[in-house]
Amino acid sequence: MKTKPLAFSAAAMVLLLDQVTKFVSRNYLLDGIPKDVLGNFFRITLRYNYGAAFSISWGGPIFLSVFTALACFFLVKYMLTVTDKKLMFWLGIILGGAVGNLVDRIAMGKVTDFIDIGLTGWRWPTFNVADIAICIGGIAVFFLFKGTKRLEVPTKEMENE
């Protein structure tokens, strides 16, 4: 399979999985009422995020929608120039997650979250499949770039050698 179709297929799969799980959560869970999956550690709890990551109030839903749409545009533009298959795949995963949350913001003005993990006295902020894709994709891209050689900017000392 060619690089670009693989990446965009990965994005489509993340988007589909994200939207299906959010649809099920919205239709079968009561807002804020946790359902234990693995005891108190892993629960599903329907919540809505009106802000950015971790519900941080940052610019409002219109700003966040425009910001995310622009980020997706530039990500796709960059993806069209990339030839590395691993990098393309992980960028596709990130794109699918970003579009998944963007769809929620445009359709509802908020993002549906439902994955709830933690211990009795401490809980991680509730999140969704799109958030997982963005985080794992970002970590993978970081490690892919970490392993590449950096271009050195020529200095005067180098010119004299």
Catalytic residues: 113, 131
Question: 73 — phi, psi (to 5°)?
Answer: -60, -50
Instruction: Please state, in angstroms and rounded to a whole number, the distance separating the CA atoms of residues 34 and 93.
Output: 28
- DSSP class per residue in 79-116: HTT---HHHHHHHHHHHHHHHHHHHHHHHHSSEEEEEE
Cβ atoms of residues 110 and 104 within 8 Å: yes
